Amino acid sequence: MKHAAEAARFIADTERAQWHDQAIWFVRSKRDLAAHGVPEWETLRETAAQIKSHTMGQLAGYLEQFEKQASALGAIVHWAQDAQEHNKIVQQILEQHQVRRVVKSKSMLTEECGLNEHLEQHEIEVIDTDLGERIVQLRQERPSHIVLPAIHIKKAEVGELFHQQLGTDAGATDPQYLTEAARQHLRQEFLRADAGITGVNFAIAETGGIVVCTNEGNADLTTSLPKLHIACMGIEKLIPRAVDLGVFLRLLARSATGQPITSYSSHFHGPQAGGELHIVLVDNRRSQILASDDFRRSLHCIRCGACLNTCPVYRRSGGHSYGVTIAGPIGSTLNPALEPGRHETLPYACSLCGSCTEVCPVKIDLHQQLFTWREKLVMRGLVPRWKTWSMRGLGWVLSNPRIYRLTGWLARNVGSRLPRWIVYNRMNVWGRQREIPPLPKQTFQELYAQRDVAFEESSRNGVGEARGGDH
């Protein structure tokens, strides 16, 4: 999927694009207020980055420690090399327990692996219980944002959807009425489910515990009503010690939504009485990213979504324009690592403004990574040839001063004489919405040389002010 074309399609509905930008900018503003309320914010970010960097440096050891500790608590730990293996493991656990219906709290990993589709193919029904995820599930869509999955949908559209699917009043738009309807609907699903699946925000190597953060408490219902709990996590979710958790919990909710902390931070240490806890650890090419000096830091990500919220491109093009589970700056660096040939336009869906890098709570150098990706994509021949050839041509002109001056002269002197309809032809992408700047007759060099002549003449006549310039 080509980001620019999808983005243009989104923007064609100007009113919606503006609404989308403003709705998400509001979240960024709340994040700013919350961050500025913590004087030691920058120290926290630095500490978090160092903890993550340390963990990634010794990930194998921490993973083994986690497996040992979690097993000691009674959890059953599984290892999955890729999405397929992950899906198969989950399917097998569910089939062993004759599960027909699963409730699931938000998990971007299961979205990444396409778990819902896989289970549905094996006749296991999955009900997403995060409100936003349930909305997109009912619409048969994918989340457009990792924290706010239904941010692209307006209240009235939710009202219409619920009217059709849940039998609410036609034309209802009151958020309280609609969420109450969703709550009643989901409550039934929780009671009917045979098993619960959650994501994992943090896994603690020292204790073997896992932490799931939600605002709706749906992870708690997902794991306390059914006896079987399957927690799915990427291997990068590890932190070394319980004491490190505070650093991340303070950063996560403030960066995500501007809250001081998520409403529920649920800790799981082994299964509930009489139940089972399975933890599935998934690689899915994370170890390849870990091996790369350029992109290793992208594994620091705690999925707060702050880089999406601040990204001027994401806000105006919508999450679906990226065609991936994780959109925005972090998605544009993670996805090419997974499948470079499919996501080659994502690193270019960026003006290199650098806001993502500054907002990231774990200090991932996001815009630098996108810059580096472009070089890698060109090296691998994944960027259209006409683009690289035109850049090669430009590079040649710009390393030959005479040819550069001649090209400039031609453009200014011939270009300025052409009729408007030729200049603003269909191929002129710049000119679709913008004027070309008025072309000056002379370049800086020419004007500067004339100035020197004028200066020399005036100083010969003894009227000029003393002025340096020894050339």
Partner 1 sequence: MRVGLFIPCYIEQLYPQVGLATVQVLERFGVTVEYPHGQTCCGQPMANMGCTDAARPVAEHFLDLFEAYDYVVGPSGSCVSMVRHHYDGLVADPQRLEKVRQKTFELCEFLHDVLEIRHLEGHFPHQVGLHQGCHGLRELKLASPSELVIEHYNKVQILLESLEGIRFSQLQRPDECCGFGGTFSVSEEAVACMMGQDRLRDHQQAGTEVLTSVDMSCLMHQQGLLQRAAHNSKSKPAMRVMHVAEIMAMSDQ
Site for partner 1 in 364-403 (CB under 8 A): 371, 373-379, 383, 387-388, 391-392, 394-401
Beta-carbon contacts of 324 under 8 Å, excluding residues fewer than 6 positions away, are 331, 335, 343, 346
- Examine residue 25 and tell whether it contacts partner 1 (CB under 8 A): yes
DSSP for 182-225 reads HHHHHHHHHHH-SEEEE--SEEETTT--EEEEESSSHHHHHHHS
Q: Which of 147, 213, 349, 366 binds partner 1 (CB under 8 A)?
A: 349
- Which range binds partner 1 by CB under 8 A, 217-225, 228-236, 240-248, 438-446? 438-446
Per-residue x/- track, 102-141, partner 1 (CB under 8 A) = ----------------------------------------
14 vs 98, which CB is nearer to partner 1?
14
| Interacting positions 195-254 with partner 1 (CB under 8 A) | none
- Examine residue 33 and tell whether it contacts partner 1 (CB under 8 A): no
* CA–CA gap between residue 439 and residue 471 (Å, rounded): 28
- Which range binds partner 1 by CB under 8 A, 102-110, 127-135, 236-244, 352-360? 352-360
The single-letter DSSP state of residue 298 is: G
* CA–CA gap between residue 28 and residue 3 (Å, rounded): 23
Q: Work out how close the CB of 383 gets to partner 1 at its nearest, in angstroms, rounded to a whole number.
A: 6
In angstroms, how far is the first alpha carbon of the chain from the final one? Answer: 55
Q: Work out how close the CB of 94 gets to partner 1 at its nearest, in angstroms, rounded to a whole number.
A: 42
* CA–CA gap between residue 137 and residue 131 (Å, rounded): 10
Q: Work out how close the CB of 139 gets to partner 1 at its nearest, in angstroms, rounded to a whole number.
A: 25
Size of the site for partner 1 (CB under 8 A): 83
- Examine residue 156 and tell whether it contacts partner 1 (CB under 8 A): no
Q: Which of 171, 421, 426, 432 binds partner 1 (CB under 8 A)?
A: 432
Place of tokens 């899915």: 284
42 vs 82, which CB is nearer to partner 1?
42
41 vs 264, which CB is nearer to partner 1?
41
CB 170 within 8 A of CB 183: no
Place of tokens 């603003």: 424
- Examine residue 357 and tell whether it contacts partner 1 (CB under 8 A): yes
Give SS3 for 57: helix
420 vs 460, which CB is nearer to partner 1?
420
44 vs 124, which CB is nearer to partner 1?
44
CB 120 within 8 A of CB 95: no
Q: Work out how close the CB of 370 gets to partner 1 at its nearest, in angstroms, rounded to a whole number.
A: 10
Residue 301 to residues 56, 99, 137, 174, 326: CA-CA distances in angstroms? Answer: 11, 33, 25, 35, 11
Q: Which of 76, 265, 412, 423 binds partner 1 (CB under 8 A)?
A: 412
* CA–CA gap between residue 278 and residue 162 (Å, rounded): 33
CA nearest neighbour of 238 among 223, 253, 228, 248: 248
Q: Which two tokens stand for residue 34?
A: 């919350």
Give the count of beta carbons closer than 10 Å to the beta carbon of residue 1. 13
| Interacting positions 309-338 with partner 1 (CB under 8 A) | 310, 312-313, 316-317
| Interacting positions 42-71 with partner 1 (CB under 8 A) | 42
Q: Which of 76, 172, 353, 423 binds partner 1 (CB under 8 A)?
A: 353
- Which range binds partner 1 by CB under 8 A, 50-58, 101-109, 191-199, 348-356? 348-356
Indicate left, alpha or beta for 426 from its phi (over 0: left) and psi (-120 to 50: alpha): alpha
Per-residue x/- track, 274-313, partner 1 (CB under 8 A) = ------------------------------------x-xx
- Which range binds partner 1 by CB under 8 A, 14-22, 96-104, 189-197, 203-211? 14-22
The single-letter DSSP state of residue 416 is: T
Residue 466 to residues 120, 217, 448, 449, 469: CA-CA distances in angstroms? Answer: 84, 76, 17, 17, 10
Q: Which of 96, 184, 416, 443 binds partner 1 (CB under 8 A)?
A: 443
Beta-carbon contacts of 402 under 8 Å, excluding residues fewer than 6 positions away, are none
28 vs 97, which CB is nearer to partner 1?
28
- Examine residue 415 and tell whether it contacts partner 1 (CB under 8 A): no
- Which range binds partner 1 by CB under 8 A, 7-15, 98-106, 117-125, 264-272? 7-15
List the Cα angle 245/298/278 in 5-degree steps. 55
